[in-house]
Amino acid sequence: MQGLPWSCVIRSQNEAADSICNKKGARKAVRMLALARESAWRYSARAAAALCIAALSSAAFAAGPRHALAMHGEPAYGPGFSHFSYANPDAPKGGRLTEGIAGTFDSINPFVIRGNPFQPFRGYVVESLMVRSQDEPFTVYGLIASAVETDEARSYVTFTIDPRARFSDGKPVTADDVLFSWNLLREKGRPNHRLFYGKVTKAEKIGVDKVRFDFGNAGDRELPLILALLPVLPKHATDVERFDEPSLSIAPGSGPYVVSDVRPGSFIVLKRNADYWGRDLPVNRGHFNFDELRFEFYRDTTTWLEAFKRGLYDYRLEDDPTRWANDYDFPAARTNGLIRETLDTKIPKPMFALVFNTRRAIFSDIRVREALIELLDFEWMNAKLFHSAYARTSSFFEGSVLSSRGITASNAERALLAPFAKVVRADVMAGSYQPPLSDGSGNDRVRAKRAFALFAEAGWVLRDGVMTRKDDATPFQFEILVTKREEERIATIYVTMLRRAGIAANVRMVEGGQFEARRQQYDYDMVPVTWQQSLSPGNEQSFYFGSASADQTATRNYMGMKSPAVDAMIGAMLRAKTLDELTTATRALDRVLISGLYVIPLYHLPQQWLARWPHIERPAKLPLQGALPETWWQKRASQ
């Protein structure tokens, strides 16, 4: 009792007095340190140590501007760090990286919903106030903003603008540009921008180089980090009136590249800004090593692959087991030393699924949705089409500590879910739920019998080989909207499986622009969707699954879900102060989403498959997400 805790008290008291005197929070820290001293004498070492930690935490928040901010805990890199560990600070500069993309585009403005934009524009051309570290769940470090300040409650955030920051036209980045960007995106940006930035109760410039955002009593601890990722646009060069229109030109950014050439639907070329202001920042060392980035677009996946075989672009992240097994042993691959790698990732596996649009009456009954899930024979599909290389997905946070799969709900989860006792299935609470497992025959009678029973409970019966509504003999039929050949193949196989149950589903394939427009307006019955999750989920979950997003166009609540339980779990995630609290809330959310049966979960790759030509090199250490082209470089001719 008189060892470490007491020395902690003495040391903490001295450090607090030296570092936070006359600063906000000092009085609170000193009071807590006094309590810690009393605990050390009168109670226990554990109590004293706990109060020491709380006192130091209070002192830390009172210490003023910092170089970084973590969602939970402390940043992994201290204020004097030189570079991120997954980047090579000695990587050579020069050369060109060509990326092949399946699809098309008609705009390079990724900040609005109109058009089919080129998404990678952010980061390369337009920068944010701060930037995420890719080997931490959610921590931001200084970029345009050299420092960040907030309080323990995270009721506000203040950013200090780096005086060196410049747009590519040479104009300085100012506090006015930051406030302009926040207001413009709040009014005319994508729905997620409007949702997140709309939570700011007050925004103001403090002096020449500081901006402060207040959040009132939002109770959302992620908001300071969300604002840190605000893309900064130039007030002096942005056409406000036409900002929300798709465009092939854009105002100058402050990023490492500028737009050099654009041909709609064909290619985009970015060239290094020779006067880039931030090249020597720690967050940029070892990044952005190529002088030129070229993005080539291909309308179909066959042409896309053949172009790679001819060396027309530099790397592929393959997601098709058949192609990976059969299509990479070609003469040029053997002659030119094609490198094939299997990479481990540590972020949640994507949820790829066929999504029910519950705005449609035909999918409003959960028993109907469960019956349709029963009728997908994944085991047959995986064996016949994919060499059994895929794993079945069942969690929205698959393969991570945030997933509820195989884990019994904790007491803390049960407490969160107590007001919604009927929402979560018993097998999901027990951690035993799995998507239906078939016999792999493609015609599993047990699964079909289960599906027919569910249809009957919901008022549908099989008559003369046709699934019809019992009351009025309306046939059960719907459409699956797709835009890629792989999606068409999966959907067509599923339609064949449904036909055996008397269901007349059909597949409609449309081009990318029409698909995106219909998806934004929720003009579909069923659609394939992929949700990518991080290890620090937060505000985006409202955009994905929140009730308010169900009726707002262009969100990612594709199923039209309105669930008070989901809203409550997202709220708990946003209030979480520790990783344990975040994990509890996220697993609880996962259980509600799984229980709602809003999707037919498909599959994921256990690892990442990368093919690259040998003149492209990468660091040995990988970030959490695996491949990160921003850290790659071109091999020197002498190597």
Summarised one tens digit per residue, pLDDT across range 592-627 is 999 999 999 999 999 999 999 999 999 999 999 999
pLDDT for res 119: 80
Residue 639 pLDDT class (50, 70, 90 cuts): low
pLDDT for res 636: 84
pLDDT tens-place string over residues 286-337: 999 999 999 999 988 899 999 999 999 999 999 999 899 999 999 999 999 9
pLDDT tens-place string over residues 98-139: 999 998 899 999 999 888 888 878 899 999 999 999 999 999
pLDDT for res 115: 87
> How would you write 528-588 as a 3-class SS string?
EEEECCCCCCCCHHHHHHCHHHCCCCCCCCCCCCCCHHHHHHHHHHHHCCCHHHHHHHHHH
pLDDT for res 37: 40
pLDDT tens-place string over residues 168-214: 999 999 999 999 999 999 999 999 999 999 999 999 999 889 999 99
pLDDT for res 61: 47
The beta-strand segments (E) located in 387-463 are 391-392, 460-463
Flag the least confident range among 76-90, 241-255, 276-290, 357-371. Answer: 241-255
Flag the least confident range among 4-13, 471-480, 493-502. Answer: 4-13
For residue 237, what is the DSSP state?
G
Over residues 69-94, mean pLDDT: 97
Instruction: Give the whole-number percent of the chain exceeding pLDDT 90.
Output: 84
For helices 485-499 and 301-309, angle between their N-to-C axes, nearest 10 degrees = 140
- Considering the chain, what is the average pLDDT of its residues? 90
Residue 33, SS3? helix
Residue 128 β-bridge partners: 231
| E strand or H helix at 176 | helix 175-188
pLDDT for res 512: 86
pLDDT for res 207: 85
Q: What gap in Å lies between CA 32 and CA 51, rounded to an integer? A: 6
pLDDT tens-place string over residues 37-55: 443 333 344 444 444 444 4
pLDDT for res 637: 72
In 3D space, the residue among 639, 363, 638 whose CA is nearest the CA of residue 478 turns out to be: 363
Q: What gap in Å lies between CA 60 and CA 79, rounded to an integer? A: 14
pLDDT for res 638: 61
Q: Is the pLDDT score of 427 beyond 50? A: yes
Q: Is the pLDDT score of 30 beyond 50? A: no
Structure tokens at 198: 């709309």
